[in-house]
């Protein structure tokens, strides 16, 4: 029998909420340039299965060789794929020994652990015990720097794989990355632009392999990819993403989101909510009630058209993650909270 469905934000069994603050999508979106690209996408034909032009474009955008670009159906698909590759690498090397372990941040996206479990890999208590180390910066659900990331990169052993999830980096409203360029070259970088572009329904991502990645691991990651991981629309989204026009639009969005975030935090504080520090266009907050009352609050809000992300699955019971919303949505949320 299948297990329980993984917990995510966004639409649920009740459909799409009128006001969805449960995902980390850019509230200024969708990006007009990306929308036009999707409208022009030719879905009558298969994409090039090697994504030759797309990988060249993304490589040029990041200043890396196209051979280091691995396209993916989504961030979650690549999490599963890289985990599988490390698991197979360990199978080939251990000859009856213990399976390779996976290390996770304290609060992390659930798919890292789900992928490890699916491939029978234990979770490591310390980074030095792991073959695969996951990092995410800015982090989710907190939107904060991962303070141990520079140490992880510096101490990385030749047989270890460091994967840095950069899903929320484009929505960083303050602060700077923890890793310098030299350290970034040692990690797999997973990039999922659909959140930043406000188009989360288009599943498309890519990873940048480390500069000196193990050749056998690279081959396994490539061999594990499905044929045509991206359809025409996913390819169009990534092509639009790697453009000066999209970058300029996103830069303007960040200025707007900073203003909206300050307004939203002030309104919630007046309503008795306590928000944790965040560098991004989403944050974690605790309402003025006990943790066991959270499900009832979230259900009542959902009935009124608002969805927030329960952080219990992240190891933060009694907290919610919410995205920054436009002022009219903020005002409607505060009016609803005042009535509950």
Task: Decide which of 242, 274, 298 is a domain's last residue.
Answer: 242
Regions of the chain where pLDDT drops below 70: 1-8, 92-97
**Chain-centre distance for alpha carbon 16:** 20
User: H or E element: which one contains 286?
Assistant: strand 282-286
Q: Mind listing the pLDDT tens digit for each residue in 283-297?
A: 999 999 999 999 999
253 lies in some domain: yes
Residues 183 and 326 in one domain: no
pLDDT at 241: 98
Angle at alpha carbon of residue 146, lines to 87 and 134, rounded to 5°: 5
pLDDT at 2: 46
Residues 221 and 250 in one domain: no
User: H or E element: which one contains 35?
Assistant: helix 32-40
29 lies in some domain: no
Q: What is the CATH number of the domain that holds 324?
A: 3.90.1150.10
Task: Decide which of 242, 273, 292 is a domain's last residue.
Answer: 242
Residues 290 and 325 in one domain: yes
Q: Which residues pair with 285 in a beta bridge?
A: 275, 320
Contact predicate 168/134, CB 8 Å: no
DSSP, residue by residue, 38-93: HHH--TTSPPPTT-HHHHHHHHHHHTS-GGGEEEES-HHHHHHHHHHHHHHHHHHH
Q: What is the CATH number of the domain that holds 97?
A: 3.40.640.10
Burial per residue of 24-53, b for 16 or more beta-carbon CB atoms within 10 angstroms, e otherwise: bbbbbbbbebbbebbeebeeeeebeeebee
Angle at alpha carbon of residue 300, lines to 295 and 305, rounded to 5°: 120
Residues 207 and 260 in one domain: no
| Token digits of residue 82 | 């890289």
Residues 224 and 301 in one domain: no
* β-strands 102-103, 132-136 pairing: parallel
| Token digits of residue 80 | 């599963």
Residues 278 and 302 in one domain: yes
pLDDT at 12: 78
pLDDT at 90: 74
| Closest residue by Cα to residue 238 from 281, 207, 282 | 207
148 lies in some domain: yes
| Token digits of residue 125 | 């208590």
Residue 292, domain extent: 19-24+245-339
- In the chain, how many domains are there? 2
Residues 192 and 260 in one domain: no
* β-strands 69-72, 205-208 pairing: antiparallel
Sign of CA dihedral 53, 57, 58, 63: positive
Rounded Cα distance, 315 and 251, in Å:
32
Residues 179 and 267 in one domain: no
| Closest residue by Cα to residue 190 from 33, 80, 34, 87 | 80
Residue labelled with tokens 């695969």: 132
188 lies in some domain: yes
Compute the half-sphere exposure of residue 258: CA atoms within 13 Å on the CB side of its CA. Answer: 10
Task: Decide which of 210, 227, 242 is a domain's last residue.
Answer: 242
- CA dihedral of 285, 286, 287, 292, whole degrees rounded to 10: 140
Rounded Cα distance, 114 and 324, in Å:
28
pLDDT at 7: 60
Residues 192 and 333 in one domain: no
Compute the half-sphere exposure of residue 280: CA atoms within 13 Å on the CB side of its CA. Answer: 30
């Amino acid at each position: 029998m299948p297990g329980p469905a993984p917990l995510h934000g966004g639409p649920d069994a009740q459909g799409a909420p009128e006001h969805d603050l449960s995902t980390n999508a850019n509230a200024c979106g969708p990006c007009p340039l990306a929308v036009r690209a999707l409208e022009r996408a030719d879905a009558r034909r298969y994409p090039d299965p090697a994504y030759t032009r797309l990988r060249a474009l993304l490589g040029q955008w990041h200043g890396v060789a196209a051979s280091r670009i691995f396209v993916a159906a989504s961030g979650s698909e690549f999490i599963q794929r890289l985990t599988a590759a490390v698991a197979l690498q360990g199978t080939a090397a251990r000859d009856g020994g213990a399976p390779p372990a996976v290390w996770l941040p304290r609060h992390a996206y659930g798919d890292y652990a789900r992928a490890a479990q699916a491939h029978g890999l234990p979770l490591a208590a310390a980074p030095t015990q792991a073959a695969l180390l996951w990092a995410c910066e800015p982090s989710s659900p907190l939107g904060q720097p991962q303070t141990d990331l520079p140490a992880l990169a510096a101490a990385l052993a030749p047989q270890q794989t460091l994967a840095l999830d950069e899903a929320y980096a484009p929505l960083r409203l303050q602060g700077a990355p923890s890793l310098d360029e030299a350290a970034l070259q040692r990690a797999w970088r997973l990039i999922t632009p659909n959140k930043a572009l406000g188009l989360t329904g288009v599943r498309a991502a890519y990873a940048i392999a480390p500069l000196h990645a193990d050749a056998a691991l690279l081959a396994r990651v490539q061999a594990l990819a499905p044929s045509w991981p991206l359809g025409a629309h996913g390819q169009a989204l990534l092509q639009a993403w790697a453009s000066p026009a999209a970058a300029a639009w996103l830069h303007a969005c960040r200025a707007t989101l900073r203003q909206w975030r300050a307004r939203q935090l002030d309104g919630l504080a007046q309503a008795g909510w306590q928000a944790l520090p965040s560098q991004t266009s989403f944050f974690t907050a605790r309402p003025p009630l006990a943790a066991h009352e959270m499900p009832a609050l979230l259900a009542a809000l959902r009935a009124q058209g608002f969805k927030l992300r329960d952080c219990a699955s992240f190891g933060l019971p009694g907290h919610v993650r919410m995205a920054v919303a436009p002022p009219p949505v903020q005002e409607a949320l505060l009016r609803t909270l005042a009535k509950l």
